[in-house]
């Protein structure tokens, strides 16, 4: 066969050669994958870590721990859209403190964060720079007001006494199992709803009513999470398909309810009705105080931001706390010792014993309760991830080179599980790590505690959250024993909020 005939034959049979080439490449990829599949993070050509991310999206939080232990606490990779951007993952407290505190101005949320969380709008958790400074100043004025703090305390105590404890007593009497995550999320929603709007949603009641507004907030949270693991979400939004269609419906429901609530509050204020709630405080703030007009859109974005944050931080924190307590009876015993000392001094003598409710002042000096709650928050932070971007080229404390525009993912969840940060007992539920030799709360571990953020963006509702959590936790513990149902599968839900994927089914037994 001459050269010309050979070349012609090869050209005519090019499809065979092409298929052979594809086969060889496929075999090579499969062989390479089988060799590396035990690794928590596989770096693919072009798409880098995207296949690993998609493969582990259903267990995203556990995966961040695995890659931190196997690869390192700080990892730089290429973004999902064919390497057009770089992404930094870190759970190193040195780097985190540098970004959120030391060089705060260089690490804003960024425009992409605002786009991903557009359901919340231009609220305090989404915006940066001057707009954030103005909103923060306004929120600080409201949240530090003695009148508002007293209002939060009275709302929380009333909700515990009139709704939470009666519901649990009803469950205990009927000896049925209940999803206590659902109960605590209802408690948190009703609490923050009342704090914001000045009236109860009645979401926490014995008949477990449906609530269209609360459900829409849940769906909004889930939809915004999916945007972080689906690079094609903008295509779905453009065609109004799948998760984006569901998110759009949820947003319409949220906007409809908020429009009604804001209009109702404005009408109340016009009629001279006095109110201490957050919405009333914002509406009555003068332009000179806020330097921001209190338009309906502005109010909508503010109250929705606090609704998302207040509900999730309180409800999720309480659920994980009682899960840990049920698995650590020695911790429960020590907390009960503290609570019973207070209870013994305040218990009414004679008559029928009633469900006992603490005053917030009763709980301020309880060291072990505070330590146990803080330890629970360390292990199971309600917001396990924080997202940022790099504004200008920089170098982090560990030497990592940062480039302008780089996206940043901070895992507070993974940080809690690093031996180099918390010691060999990092996986243990150990309230003692927060107590010093003199039996007082220790501030040393706080340098690695970013649950409520640190620096300028420290959570402005931190005190409110602790008030709601402590009042509920103390009242439930002194009145009831909470026992997780045998065999119940407990694991984190892949979401922006660290919910339990299967809820927390428990049995409730009266204690006093």
- Known binding residue 459? Answer is yes
Which residues, 6+ apart, have CB-to-CB distance to 245 below 8 Å? 236
What CA–CA distances, in Å, run from 159 to 196, 204, 342, 357?
14, 9, 21, 11
Residue 501, burial from CB neighbour count under 10 angstroms (0-12, 13-18, 19+): middle
Q: Which contiguous run of DSSP H or E holds residue 508?
A: strand 505-510
* Torsion, CA 498, CA 501, CA 507, CA 510, rounded to 10: 20
Q: In the numeric block, which tokens belong to residue 64?
A: 């961040």
Closest CA to 96 of 453, 458, 462, 461: 453
Which residues, 6+ apart, have CB-to-CB distance to 9 below 8 Å? 1
Question: Token pair 């404890």 is at which residue?
Answer: 165
Which residues, 6+ apart, have CB-to-CB distance to 413 below 8 Å? 61, 64, 65, 380, 381, 384, 385, 492, 498
Q: In the numeric block, which tokens belong to residue 191?
A: 């609490």
Q: What are phi and psi of 484, to 5 degrees?
A: -70, 135
Q: What angle do CA 227, 412, 407 make, to 5 degrees?
A: 45
How far, in Å, CA of 368 to CA of 435, rounded? 8
- Known binding-site residues for heme equal 459
Q: Which residues are annotated as a binding site?
A: 459
């Amino acid at each position: 066969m001459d050269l010309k005939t050979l070349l012609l034959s090869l050209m005519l049979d090019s499809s065979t050669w092409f298929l052979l080439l594809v086969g060889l490449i496929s075999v090579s990829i499969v062989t390479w994958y089988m060799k590396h599949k035990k690794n928590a993070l596989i770096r693919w050509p072009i798409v880098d870590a995207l296949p690993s991310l998609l493969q582990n999206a259903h267990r995203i939080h556990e995966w961040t721990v695995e890659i931190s232990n196997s690869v390192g606490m700080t990892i730089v990779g290429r973004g999902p859209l064919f390497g057009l951007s770089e992404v930094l993952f870190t759970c190193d407290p040195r780097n985190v403190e540098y970004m959120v505190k030391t060089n705060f101005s260089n690490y804003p949320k960024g425009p992409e964060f605002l786009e991903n969380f557009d359901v919340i709008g231009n609220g305090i958790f989404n915006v940066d720079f001057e707009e954030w400074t103005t909103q923060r100043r306004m929120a600080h004025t409201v949240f530090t007001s003695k009148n508002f703090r007293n209002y939060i305390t009275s709302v929380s105590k009333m909700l515990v006494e009139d709704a939470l404890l009666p519901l649990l007593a009803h469950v205990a009497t009927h000896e049925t199992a209940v999803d206590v995550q659902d109960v605590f999320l209802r408690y948190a929603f009703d609490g923050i709803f009342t704090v914001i709007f000045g009236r109860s949603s009645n979401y926490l009641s014995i008949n477990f009513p449906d609530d269209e507004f609360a459900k829409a907030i849940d769906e909004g949270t889930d939809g915004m999470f999916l945007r972080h693991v689906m690079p094609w979400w903008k295509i779905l939004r453009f065609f109004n398909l799948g998760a984006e269609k569901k998110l759009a419906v949820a947003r319409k429901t949220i906007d409809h309810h908020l429009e009604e609530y804001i209009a109702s509050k404005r009408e109340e204020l016009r009629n001279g009705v006095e109110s201490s709630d957050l919405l009333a405080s914002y509406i009555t703030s003068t332009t000179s105080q806020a330097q921001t007009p209190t338009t309906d859109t502005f109010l909508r974005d503010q109250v929705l931001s606090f609704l998302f944050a207040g509900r999730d931080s309180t409800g999720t924190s309480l659920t994980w706390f009682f899960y840990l307590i049920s698995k650590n009876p020695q911790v429960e015993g020590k907390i009960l010792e503290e609570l019973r000392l207070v209870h013994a001094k305040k218990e009414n003598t004679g008559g029928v014993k009633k469900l006992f409710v603490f005053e917030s002042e009763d709980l301020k000096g309880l060291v072990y309760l505070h330590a146990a709650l803080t330890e629970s928050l360390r292990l199971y932070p309600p917001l396990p991830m924080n997202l940022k971007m790099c504004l200008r080229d920089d170098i982090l404390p560990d030497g990592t080179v940062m480039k302008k525009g780089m996206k940043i993912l901070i895992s507070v969840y993974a940080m809690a599980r690093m031996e180099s940060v918390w010691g060999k007992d990092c996986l243990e539920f150990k309230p003692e790590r927060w107590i010093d030799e003199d039996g007082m709360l220790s501030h040393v571990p706080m340098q690695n505690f970013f649950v409520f953020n640190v620096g300028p963006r420290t959570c402005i509702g931190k005190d409110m959250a602790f008030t709601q959590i402590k009042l509920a936790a103390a009242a439930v513990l002194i009145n009831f024993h909470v026992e997780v149902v045998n065999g119940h599968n407990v694991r984190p839900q892949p979401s922006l909020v660290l919910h339990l994927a299967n809820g927390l089914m428990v049995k409730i037994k009266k204690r006093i």
